[in-house]
Structure 1
Amino acid sequence: MSNSSGAGPIEQLDPVQAEDYRPDREGWAWYLVVFLRVAAGVAMLKGLYHWAAVCGIGAGPNEVFDAQSLPWQTATVFFAVIDLVAAVGLWLAAPWGAVVWLTGSVTMIVVQIFFPLIYGVHWIVVVGLALMIVAYLFFAIMAAREQGA
Structure 2
Amino acid sequence: MLKGLYHWAHICGVGAGEDELYTSHSIAWQTATVFFAVIDLVAAVGLWLAAAWGAVIWLTAVASMVAVQLFFPQVFGRGFFTILFEGAMLAIYLNLAVKAAREQPV
TM surpasses 0.5:
yes
Identical positions, percent: 58
More RCO (CA 8 Å, sep 6+): 1
**1:39-50, aligned counterparts within 5 Å?**
44-50=1-7
Q: Deviations over 1:5-57 (max 9, x none)?
A: xxxxxxxxxxxxxxxxxxxxxxxxxxxxxxxxxxxxxxx00000000000000
Of 68, 74, 89, the residue aligned with 1:117 is 74
1:86 corresponds to 2:43: yes
Q: Which runs of 5+ in 1 are unaligned?
A: 1-43
1:53 corresponds to 2:10: yes
In 1, distance between residues paired with 2:104 and 2:6? 37
In 2, distance between residues paired with 1:148 and 1:130? 30
TM-score, structure 2 length as denominator?
Answer: 0.95
Name the larger-Rg structure.
1
1:98 corresponds to 2:28: no
Displaced runs of 4 or more, over 6 A: none
Q: How many residues align?
A: 106
1:133 corresponds to 2:96: no
Q: SS in structure 2 opposite 1:140?
A: helix
Name the structure 2 match of 1:14.
none
Structure that is richer in helix per residue: 2
In 2, distance between residues paired with 1:148 and 1:129? 31
Q: Which runs of 5+ in 2 are unaligned?
A: none
Could you tell me which amino acid in structure 1 is paired with residue 25 of structure 2?
A: Q
Q: SS in structure 2 opposite 1:93?
A: coil
Could you tell me which amino acid in structure 1 is paired with residue 45 of structure 2?
A: V
In 2, distance between residues paired with 1:91 and 1:85? 10
TM-score, structure 1 length as denominator?
Answer: 0.68
In 1, distance between residues paired with 2:19 and 2:96? 44
In 2, distance between residues paired with 1:89 and 1:144? 20
